[in-house]
Amino acid sequence: MRSPQIPSPIGSKKTTKKGDKSSFIRPSEIKKYLDQYVIGQDRAKRSLSVAVYNHYKRILSDSSKDNVELDKSNILIIGPTGTGKTLIAETLAKLLEVPFAIADATTLTEAGYVGEDVENILVRLLQIANYDIYKAQSGIIYIDEIDKVGRKTTSPSITRDVSGEGVQQALLKILEGTIAQIPPKGGRKHPEQNLISIDTKNILFICGGSFDGLSEIIGKRINSSEIGFGKSLKGEFEDDEFLKKVLPIDLIQYGFIPELIGRLPVVSTLDSLDQSSMLKVLMEPKNSLVKQYQKLFRMENIKLEFRKEALIEIIKLASDYKSGARALRSVMESTMLDLMFNLPEYSEDHVAKITITKDFVRSGKAPLFRRHRRTA
C-alpha cells in the first residue's frame, strides 16, 4: 500500500510524503508572497502565515511517534467589506497550489430545508480538484459572509433558525474533521444515490465576514470592564481598534454558538483602507488594476499613464460605494469604458500614449493623446 500523499505546501507541483519537513515553506516566505498581492494588513498576514504553516505541518507530521495530535488551525477573518479577506484566501491557495473553493454562507441552510446544504461546499472543492479526493482533502475552503449566520436573537424561538444557528450546527463536524458523504454533483441526497466519502480532517477552512455591529459589542464590554460605569471610550478608538480587541465572548454575543467559535481558533482582523492604502491597491500589487489596464493598452501598442490626481479622484468616487477596494474596479470600468470601446481605432490612428487626468475622471474631459511621429 502506497504512502498517503498530499499536495506540498511549497508552491510546486510535487507531492510530499508525511514526515518530510525539508520542503516546508516558512511563515516569512508565505507573508512575503502575500505582500505582493495584498496591501497593508501586516499583522493579519503574519497571523495567517503562521496558521497556514502550522496547518500543513500538522498534516505532514507523524503523530505516531509521540501520540500527540495537533488541533486544526481553522481561521476567522474579521474586517470591513473590500479590505482583502477573499483575496488573502485566494492568494494562499495559489501559493500552496491546493484546490480552493469559495462558499457564500448566506445561501446555506440546515440539511432538509430550502437552500443549499452545508455539505455542498465540499462538492464544490471536489469538483475544482477534478474529483481527485487526495487533493480535495488537503484543499482550502473560504466561507464568505460567515457573520450572516449569527443567531437572529438570543431568546428562544418556536421557529427553527435553519439559516442561522442551524447552519452553525451543520458546520461543526466538517470544520473539526469528519467523513462526509456527498453527492458527486451536489444537490440533495436521496437513498439510491452513490455518494463519495471525503475526509475533512485536513481541509483548511477560512471564514470571513464584515461583522457589522461587532465593534459596538466590544466597546460596551471594554467600557464596562476597564473604565467603569458612566464613562465611554467612544471617539477614542476607531472601529478597527475595537475589532483588534475581539474575544470569543464578543462573537458569542454577536450570535455565534461557542462550539463554532472553538473550531475557529485563529482570529485575524483587517483594517479599513484609507486613501493612501487605496492608492497602493490601485498601483502596487502584481495584478493591480492600473497594471491590468496598462497591459490591455500595451496589447494595442499604446502606453497608458495615470496621473496621481486622477487615481485620487477614482478613490474618492469609489469611497461613495462604502465597499472598500472592491468598488475600485466598478469605478475604473465605468471611467475607462469609452476609451476601451475606441481602443482599436486609437491604435489604427497611430496613438502612442494616453494619459488619464483628473478632469477625465471627474467630468469626462478628453484625456491627453500623443501620437507617433509620422515619417516622411
pLDDT of the residue at 3: 33
CA separation for the pair 24, 21 (Å, rounded): 6
- Helix (H) / strand (E) element for 75: namely strand 75-78
CA separation for the pair 257, 251 (Å, rounded): 8
Running DSSP on this structure, what letter comes out for residue 237? B
Q: Is residue 12 pLDDT above 80, yes or no?
A: no
CA separation for the pair 109, 314 (Å, rounded): 39
pLDDT of the residue at 23: 60
Place of cell 508565505: 30
Cβ–Cβ < 8 Å for 148, 256: no
| Digit-coded pLDDT (tens) for 149-174 | 886 555 544 444 555 788 898 899 89
| Digit-coded pLDDT (tens) for 72-95 | 889 999 988 888 888 998 898 889
Q: What is the CB neighbour count within 10 angstroms for residue 345?
A: 10
pLDDT of the residue at 97: 85
Q: Is residue 16 pLDDT above 50, yes or no?
A: no
Q: What is the CB neighbour count within 10 angstroms for residue 160?
A: 11
Mean local confidence (pLDDT), 272-290: 90
E-strand stretches of 193-300: 196-199, 204-209, 266-269
pTM: 0.78
Exposed / middle / buried, residue 176 (Cβ in 10 Å: 0-12, 13-18, 19+): middle
* Length of the chain counted residue by residue: 376
CA separation for the pair 143, 81 (Å, rounded): 14
Cα 196 to chain centroid distance, Å, stands at 27
CA separation for the pair 329, 314 (Å, rounded): 10
Mean local confidence (pLDDT), 290-299: 95
Supply angle C-alpha 232, 148, 173, rounded to 5: 115
CA distances from 220 to 102, 233, 234, 249 (A): 33, 9, 10, 12
pLDDT of the residue at 353: 95
> Between 308-319 and 326-341, two packed helices, what is the crossing angle to 10 degrees?
120
Cβ–Cβ < 8 Å for 98, 7: yes
* DSSP assignments along 245-266, one per residue: T--HHHHHHHT--HHHHHT--E
| Digit-coded pLDDT (tens) for 169-207 | 889 989 988 898 888 776 556 566 678 889 999 999 999
pLDDT of the residue at 159: 43
The pLDDT confidence band at residue 238, using thresholds 50, 70 and 90, is: low
Instruction: At 141, list the grid cell.
Output: 475552503
Say whether 352 sits in a helix, a strand or coil.
strand
| Digit-coded pLDDT (tens) for 242-261 | 888 899 999 999 999 999 99
Set out the domains of the chain in order of their start, with CATH numbers. Answer: 5-269 (3.40.50.300), 275-371 (1.10.8.60)
